C-alpha cells in the first residue's frame, strides 16, 4: 500500500501540470508534433460540404503536446474493470426480457423515444421471424474521469459505456506513439522527473480491435468472406478506420469493403434459403461482382439523423436478418443506452447479471469485484421516477405534474448532467441549462432522460493544445479535463459457450475545462495519451 506522502505527491502532479516551457521549446515541440502527425497518419480529412471521391488533402488531428498525468493504480484498475464490463454487457444483450422492459415500446424508453422505438420494434419483428445468427460481436469503450472533490484523493468514475461505433482506437495508438517520440527525441527538455519512458504505457489498440473482428470472421467459418464496414457518407475520420482494415489484411488475411447505408440499400442482398449476406461490387474489382460478408462492423448507425427514411431502417434490419455477425447487433446497441446505465446502479441488478450462476454459468464475479464495479458509478436516476428513485411515478406522468425525479433534478441542477439515449456527443444538458430545459420537456418524454451527478475533475491541471485549420495553429496553454477510455471486445451468443473477451487498449481525450462536451470529432476535445504517476 502506498504511503500517504507518496499518494499526495503523485496526486499533486495533477495540479502542477504541464511543466513550464520557453517559447522556443513550445515552438519546437509543436513543429515536431505536427510533423509526426502528418508522417504517421494522425490525421483528419479537412471540413468540406462534400468530400471528394479521392482525398486531396488532410489536416492533423487536434493534439495535446504533453501526455496527461493519471494515477498508475487507477489506470490498471480501469483495465481490470474492462473484463467485467465486457461480460456484463454481453449478458445484457442476451437478456431479451430485460431489454424489452427497459428499452421497449410498451413501457420502456422506446415508448417515448422514436429512434429507440424504431430500433426495438424492428428487432422484435426479427426475433419473431427467427434470427439465424446467434453470435454477437461487441467492440466496446468504457469512458472514465478522475473524480477529485476538494481535499480528497482521485477515484475512478465512469462517464458512459459505448457499444456502437467506438472511435479513435487507431488515432489513440498514434497519439501514444507521438508522445513517446517527443520523450525520446527531446526528453521534454528535462522539465519534469515524471517524463520518463517507463511512464508512457504502450498502446496496441489497432491490433486489439482487429483481433475482435478477426475472431468474429473466423467464427463465421468462411475464410473467403469479407468484413463489411458500414460508414457515414463524407466521413472525415477515415484515418481512424483504415488502420483496422490494414491490420485485418496484414495480420489476418481478411479483406474489408466499406459502404454507406444508402449504398447498401442498392447493393446488399440475402440468399432466401441460407440468409447469406452478399454485397455487390464492380466486376472490375471482384470477378463474381459480389462479396459474401462474414461480419458487419458499424461505424455508422448510432444517430437518428442517419435514418432519414424507412429505407435506412430496412437496410439495418436486413443486415441483422442475415447470417453475418453484426458488431453491434441491435440488442447490443440498445444495451448501451443511458437508461440501461442508470438501471445498473439499482440494487440487485449487478448481482443478477454477474453473480447468478444458475442463469449465466461462468464466469462469476465475487462481492469485492461487484463492489469495485459499483464504486465506478456516479449517482443517477430517471426523470420519470418517484421518491424511491427507482419506480416510475405514473400519477405524475399521467397528470402532467412535476414528479420527484424532475424536482430533484431542479434542486441539484448545478451538480448534474441530463442525458438522453444518444451517442456521438453534443446531446446532453448541463447545470444551469437544466431548469429551463425541464420547463419545456413534455412529461411523456421524461422517461427518455436520466439525471447523473457530475464528476468533479482536478482543478488546475493544464496542457498545451494544438488544433489545425484555424488562423492560429500555435499551441495554447489551457486548464483541461482528461477522459480515459478503455477498449475491449466480446464475442458471445452460442448457448452454453463461454464469452470470449479481451481488454484492447485505451485512449485519452482532453478538453478545456470550460467545455462540458467531450467529442473529438465534434470539435470539443483533442487527442491525448497517458503519463502514469505512482499513486
Predicted pLDDT at 403? 87
Say whether pLDDT at 101 is over 60.
yes
Check whether 302 is labelled as a binding-site residue: yes
CATH number of 379-454: 3.30.1490.50
d(CA 306, CA 371): 38
> Which pLDDT band holds residue 473 (cuts at 50, 70, 90)?
low
Specify the residue for cell string 424532475: 406
Say whether pLDDT at 1 is over 70.
no
Predicted pLDDT at 515? 60
- Report the predicted TM-score, pTM, of the whole model to 2 decimal places: 0.94
Predicted pLDDT at 361? 87
Predicted pLDDT at 2? 40
Check whether 466 is labelled as a binding-site residue: no
Check whether 453 is labelled as a binding-site residue: yes
Q: How far apart are the first and last CA of the chain?
A: 9
Contact (CB, 8 A) for 165 and 238? no
Predicted pLDDT at 7? 45
60 SS3 class: strand
Say whether pLDDT at 522 is over 70.
no
Mean pLDDT, range 215-241, rounded to an integer: 97
Considering only residues 149 and 494, tell me which one the structure prediction assigns the higher pLDDT.
Answer: 149
Check whether 422 is labelled as a binding-site residue: yes
Check whether 164 is labelled as a binding-site residue: yes
Predicted pLDDT at 10? 53
pLDDT single digits (tens) 123-137: 999 999 999 999 999
Q: Write the Ramachandran bin of 313: left for phi over 0, alpha for psi from -120 to 50, otherwise beta.
A: alpha
**Looking at residue 432, what DSSP letter applies?**
G
DSSP 435-491: HHHHHHS-GGGGGG-EEEEPP---SS-EEEEE-SSSS--S-EEEEEEEEEEEEEEEE
Check whether 323 is labelled as a binding-site residue: no
Say whether pLDDT at 445 is over 70.
yes
Mean pLDDT, range 363-385, rounded to an integer: 94
Contact (CB, 8 A) for 297 and 213? yes
Predicted pLDDT at 459? 84
Say whether pLDDT at 458 is over 90.
no
Check whether 299 is labelled as a binding-site residue: yes
> Nearest Cα to 503, choosing from 10, 138, 134, 219?
138
Predicted pLDDT at 4? 45
Catalytic residues: 141, 160, 162, 167, 338, 419, 423-424, 509
Predicted pLDDT at 387? 84
Predicted pLDDT at 520? 52
Mean pLDDT, range 146-169, rounded to an integer: 95
Predicted pLDDT at 6? 41
Check whether 67 is labelled as a binding-site residue: no
Q: Where are the domains of the chain?
A: 4-378+455-533, 379-454
Predicted pLDDT at 472? 56
Considering only residues 423 and 472, tell me which one the structure prediction assigns the higher pLDDT.
Answer: 423
Mean pLDDT, range 179-200, rounded to an integer: 96
307-321, 325-339, 412-426: which has the minimum mean pLDDT? 412-426
Which H or E run includes 31? Answer: helix 23-39
Predicted pLDDT at 385? 87
Q: What share of the chain is helix, strand, coil (3-state, %, to 5)?
A: 40, 20, 35
Mean pLDDT, range 112-128, rounded to an integer: 97
Contact (CB, 8 A) for 336 and 164? yes
> Which pLDDT band holds residue 471 (cuts at 50, 70, 90)?
very low
Predicted pLDDT at 49? 84
d(CA 255, CA 226): 5
Say whether pLDDT at 86 is over 60.
yes
Considering only residues 358 and 253, tell me which one the structure prediction assigns the higher pLDDT.
Answer: 253
pLDDT single digits (tens) 56-81: 899 999 999 999 999 999 999 999 99
In the chain, the percentage of residues whose pLDDT exceeds 70 is 94
How does the average pLDDT of the chain come out, rounded?
Answer: 92
Mean pLDDT, range 222-248, rounded to an integer: 97
Predicted pLDDT at 5? 43
d(CA 363, CA 73): 24
Say whether pLDDT at 426 is over 80.
no
Strands 429-430, 450-453: pairing is unpaired
533 SS3 class: strand
Say whether pLDDT at 196 is over 90.
yes
d(CA 517, CA 425): 6
8-12, 152-156, 475-479: which has the minimum mean pLDDT? 8-12
Check whether 173 is labelled as a binding-site residue: no
Instruction: State the Rg of the chain over Cα.
Output: 23
> Which pLDDT band holds residue 391 (cuts at 50, 70, 90)?
confident
Check whether 419 is labelled as a binding-site residue: yes
Say whether pLDDT at 496 is over 70.
no
Check whether 162 is labelled as a binding-site residue: yes
d(CA 282, CA 296): 20
> Which pLDDT band holds residue 245 (cuts at 50, 70, 90)?
very high
pLDDT single digits (tens) 30-41: 999 999 999 999
d(CA 37, CA 44): 10
Between CA 207 and CA 48, with CA 140 as vertex, the angle to 5 degrees is 80
Amino acid at each position: 500500500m502506498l504511503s500517504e506522502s507518496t499518494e499526495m505527491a503523485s496526486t499533486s502532479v495533477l495540479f502542477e501540470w504541464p511543466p513550464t516551457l520557453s517559447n522556443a521549446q513550445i515552438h519546437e515541440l509543436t513543429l515536431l508534433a505536427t510533423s509526426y502527425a502528418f508522417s504517421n497518419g494522425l490525421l483528419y480529412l479537412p471540413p468540406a460540404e462534400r468530400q471528394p471521391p479521392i482525398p486531396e488533402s488532410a489536416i492533423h488531428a487536434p493534439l495535446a503536446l504533453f501526455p496527461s498525468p493519471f494515477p498508475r493504480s487507477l489506470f490498471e484498475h480501469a483495465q481490470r474493470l474492462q473484463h467485467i464490463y465486457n461480460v456484463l454487457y454481453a449478458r445484457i444483450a442476451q437478456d431479451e426480457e430485460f431489454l424489452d422492459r427497459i428499452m421497449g415500446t410498451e413501457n420502456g424508453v422506446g415508448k417515448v423515444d422514436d429512434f429507440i422505438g424504431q430500433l426495438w420494434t424492428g428487432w422484435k419483428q426479427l426475433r419473431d421471424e427467427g434470427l439465424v445468427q446467434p453470435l454477437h460481436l461487441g467492440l466496446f469503450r468504457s469512458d472514465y474521469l478522475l473524480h477529485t472533490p476538494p481535499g480528497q484523493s482521485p477515484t475512478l468514475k465512469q462517464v458512459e459505456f459505448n457499444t456502437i461505433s467506438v472511435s479513435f482506437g487507431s488515432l489513440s495508438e498514434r497519439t501514444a506513439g507521438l508522445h513517446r517520440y517527443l520523450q525520446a527525441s527531446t526528453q521534454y527538455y528535462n522539465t519534469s522527473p515524471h517524463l520518463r519512458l517507463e511512464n508512457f504505457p504502450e498502446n496496441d489498440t489497432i491490433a486489439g480491435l482487429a483481433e475482435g473482428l478477426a475472431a468474429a470472421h473466423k467464427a463465421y467459418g468462411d475464410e473467403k468472406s469479407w468484413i463489411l464496414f458500414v460508414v457515414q457518407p463524407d466521413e472525415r475520420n477515415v484515418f481512424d478506420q483504415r488502420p483496422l482494415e490494414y491490420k485485418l489484411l496484414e495480420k489476418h488475411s481478411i479483406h474489408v469493403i466499406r459502404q454507406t447505408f444508402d449504398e447498401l440499400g442498392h447493393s446488399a442482398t440475402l440468399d432466401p434459403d441460407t440468409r447469406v449476406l452478399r454485397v455487390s461490387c464492380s466486376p472490375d474489382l471482384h470477378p463474381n461482382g459480389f462479396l459474401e460478408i462474414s461480419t458487419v462492423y458499424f461505424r455508422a448507425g448510432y444517430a437518428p439523423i442517419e435514418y432519414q427514411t424507412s429505407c435506412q431502417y430496412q437496410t439495418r434490419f436486413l443486415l441483422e436478418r442475415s447470417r453475418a455477425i453484426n458488431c453491434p447487433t441491435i440488442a447490443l446497441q440498445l444495451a448501451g443506452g443511458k437508461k440501461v446505465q442508470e438501471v445498473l446502479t439499482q440494487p440487485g441488478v449487478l448481482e443478477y447479471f454477474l453473480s447468478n450462476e444458475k442463469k449465466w454459468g461462468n464466469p462469476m464475479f465475487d462481492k469485492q469485484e461487484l463492489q469495485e464495479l459499483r464504486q465506478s458509478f456516479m449517482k443517477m436516476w430517471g426523470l420519470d421516477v418517484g421518491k424511491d428513485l427507482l419506480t416510475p411515478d405514473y400519477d405524475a406522468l399521467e397528470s402532467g405534474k412535476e414528479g420527484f425525479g424532475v424536482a430533484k433534478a431542479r434542486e441539484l441542477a448545478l451538480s448534474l448532467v441530463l442525458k438522453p439515449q444518444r451517442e456521438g456527443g453534443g446531446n446532453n444538458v448541463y447545470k444551469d441549462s437544466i431548469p429551463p430545459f425541464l420547463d419545456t420537456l413534455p412529461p411523456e418524454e421524461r422517461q427518455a432522460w436520466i439525471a447523473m451527478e457530475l464528476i468533479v475533475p482536478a482543478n488546475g491541471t493544464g496542457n498545451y493544445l494544438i488544433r489545425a485549420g484555424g488562423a492560429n495553429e500555435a499551441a495554447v496553454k489551457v486548464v483541461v479535463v482528461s477522459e480515459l477510455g478503455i477498449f475491449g471486445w466480446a464475442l458471445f451468443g452460442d448457448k452454453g459457450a463461454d464469452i470470449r473477451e479481451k481488454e484492447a487498449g485505451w485512449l485519452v481525450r482532453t478538453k478545456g475545462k470550460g467545455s462540458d462536451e467531450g467529442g473529438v470529432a465534434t470539435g470539443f476535445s483533442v487527442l491525448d495519451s497517458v503519463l502514469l504517476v505512482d499513486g
